[in-house]
Structure 1
Amino acid sequence: MSRIDHINNPDAPPPNSVVPSAVAFIENEHGEVLLIKRSDNGDWALPGGAHDLGESIEDTAVREANEETGLDIEVTGLIGVYTNPNHLIEYGDGEVRQQFSLNFRATAVGGEIKTSSESTQVRWFGADDLDGLSINSGMQLRIQHGFEHRATPYLG
């Protein structure tokens, strides 16, 4: 399914859903973050996705990270809550979702890095390695906040 992120776009279609989601800022011992290259839009992003019935939002981050990267992770904290009503995600099936995402700090505890149907590449990046990558501004904010190691979670 295709995906278009509309951020502060006055011509974006109106939203018709809100779905809680979670992403994982997985940091290694070298201070690098694990990013995936999304198969639906070609952008680089933190692994993550929609919350499913019957799981906690923390479990969502763990499941999605495993599905998209092959790694088993442990959530160690909350980086922030992202609910910008001007960030809309348009899907090819007509759904236009208003952003509602929790960004969790995590570490890898097992598994092996591999791609999936949702990720065409999975790679570690340092903070200085992100220039030139296709990353939407909403995701850039989550990644920046992860590298900042803020004392309190972002709320916005």
Structure 2
Amino acid sequence: MGRRDYEDDPDAPAANSLVPAASVVVVGNDGRVLLQRRADNGRWALPGGRMEIGETLPGCAVRETREETGLDVEVVGLVGTYTDPGHVFAYDDGEVRQEFSICFLARPTGGELAVSDESTDVRWFTPDETDDLPMVASIRKRLTDWRSGAAPVFR
């Protein structure tokens, strides 16, 4: 299903849903960060997705990372909360979702890199290598917040 991101766009459609979601900054022992190239828009992104009934948000982060990248991770911190009502995702089926994402910090514990039906590539990057990668503004914001090394942000 296709998706279009709108951020502070006066022409964005009005949100009609709010879904808790997790995104994950996975950092290896060498300081590189894990990204996936999304199949729906061709841009680089953090692993993540919607929370399911019966799971915790950290559990969602672990599950989504495994499903999308093939890696098992352990959540070790919080990058920030991202709940900007000016950021919506419009899906082909008519859903327009207001952003509601908690971004976790995690470390890999096992598994092997693998693409999924949601990605075309999964790779490790040094923080500087992410500067020129094509990605939506909200993902860039999470990476910038992580790279700042500051306390968790609340947006």
TM-score tier by shorter-chain length is: over 0.9
Q: Structure 1 CA distance, aligned partners of 2:103 and 2:83?
A: 11
Which AA in structure 1 matches 2:80? Answer: G
Could you report, residue by residue, the CA deviation over 1:16-52 in whole angstroms, capped at 9, with x for unpaired residues? Answer: 0010100110001221110001111111110000000
- TM-score, normalised relative to structure 2: 0.97
TM-score by length of 1: 0.97
1:49-97 deviation line (CA, Å, top 9, x unaligned):
0000000000000000000000000000111000111110011110000
Identity of aligned residues (%): 48
Aligned partners of 1:6, 1:82: CA distance in 2, in Å?
14
Q: In the TM superposition, what is the alpha-carbon distance from 1:149 to its structure 2 partner?
A: 2.2
TM-superposed CA distance for 1:148, in Å, is 2.1
1:92 is matched with 92
Unaligned runs of 5+ in 2: none
Name the aligned partner's letter for residue 54 of structure 2: G
Q: How many residue pairs were aligned?
A: 155
Which runs of structure 1 show a deviation greater than 2 angstroms over 4 or more consecutive aligned residues? none
Residue 60 of structure 1 is matched in structure 2 by: 60
Q: Which moved more, 1:140-149 or 1:103-112?
A: 140-149
Note the alpha carbon deviations across 1:131-153, whole angstroms, 9 max, x for none.
33211111101011112222x21
Amino acid at match of 1:107: R
Q: For residue 112 of structure 1, what is the aligned residue in structure 2?
A: 112
Aligned to 1:38: 38
In structure 1, what is the equivalent of residue 152 of structure 2? 153
Q: Distance in 2 between matches of 1:66 and 1:30?
A: 20
Structure 1 residue 125: deviation in Å? Answer: 1.0
Partner of 2:2: 2
Runs (5+) with no aligned partner, structure 1: none
Look up the equivalent residue of 2:153 and give its one-letter code.
Y
